[in-house]
Amino acid sequence: MITDPLGRFLTHVDRVLGRVENAFNLVAGVLIFALMLLGVAQIVLRVAFDSPIFGYIDIVEVSMVGFGVLSIAFVQRVGGHVRMELLVSRLRGRALWLAEAAGVLVAALIVAVLIPYSYRHFERAYLFGDSTIDIELATWPAKLVVPVALGLLLLRLVAQLVGYLRLTMHPRLEPVAVPISKDAAAQAREEVARSGDDFAGAKAAP
């Protein structure tokens, strides 16, 4: 049970951001699935009927932006990004939380710089009517996705920064709005347990 006011506030912020991140992640998943179906249709039409989908490359080019960045805040929330932890993995307590806060601060500053530049790319494409070559598909919706997704990522990074600073000041408090890193052994045990549960469930199914 979170008792401190900052912890309760971070819990609420984490919950709200999590819902938005889940929605963005779902959209990215739908885009990937739709692109897979489109790829199958492209192959079938090309091989069987010698009639490929006109503008297939343009559609792929535009849709890749969506599933490339829409899930970035979700992955940050669960701690799924690839990280170099040669030093951080050896830290404990206040030193660990301070190092994590420093890393998140650097990431937040970089994202904050990228957002206005990515928005300018969208604005330029919208004003000039930029489109793809073959089917003249407007590119500004895809370019708008980038600053929106980065904006959500920045909010997540700020929430994590506050969460790490809270733990730096009070290491005994329960972690809130921050991913908990696990060592390789703990991850392996979880994977084994999950595989065992899946096997047991499949075996018990009629």
Which tens digits make up the pLDDT trace of 10-22? Answer: 999 999 999 999 9
pLDDT of residue 187: 55
Whether residue 205 is predicted with pLDDT greater than 90 in this model: the reply is no
Quick one: which of 113, 123, 168, 172 has its CA closest to 144? 123
The answer to whether the beta carbons of residues 179 and 78 sit under 8 Å apart is yes
pLDDT of residue 90: 80
pLDDT of residue 117: 96
pLDDT of residue 4: 85
* Tokens 């006011």 -> residue: 5
d(CA 102, CA 86): 16
d(CA 89, CA 200): 34
pLDDT of residue 27: 95
pLDDT of residue 182: 60
Q: What is the mean pLDDT of residues 160-181?
A: 90
Q: Which residues contact 57 (CB under 8 A, 6 or more apart)?
A: 134
pLDDT of residue 200: 54
Whether residue 140 is predicted with pLDDT greater than 70 in this model: the reply is yes
pLDDT digits (tens, 9 = 90+) for 100-135: 999 999 999 999 999 999 999 999 999 999 998 889
Question: What is the crossing angle of helices 93-128 and 140-169, to 10°?
Answer: 160
Quick one: which of 151, 152, 145, 157 has its CA closest to 21? 152
Q: What's the DSSP call for residue 132? A: -
The answer to whether the beta carbons of residues 146 and 69 sit under 8 Å apart is yes
The pLDDT-based confidence of 195 (bands split at 50, 70, 90) is: low
Q: In the predicted model, what is the mean pLDDT of the chain? A: 87
- Three-class SS of 25-40: HHHHHHHHHHHHHHHH
More confident residue, 99 or 195: 99
The answer to whether the beta carbons of residues 135 and 82 sit under 8 Å apart is no
pLDDT of residue 86: 72
pLDDT digits (tens, 9 = 90+) for 55-100: 999 999 899 888 889 999 999 999 887 777 777 778 788 898 998 9
Q: Which residues contact 182 (CB under 8 A, 6 or more apart)?
A: 190
Percent of the chain with pLDDT over 70: 86
Neighbours of 185 (CB within 10 A): 8
Q: What is the mean pLDDT of residues 18-37?
A: 95
pLDDT of residue 123: 95
DSSP 3-state of 176:
coil
pLDDT of residue 180: 80
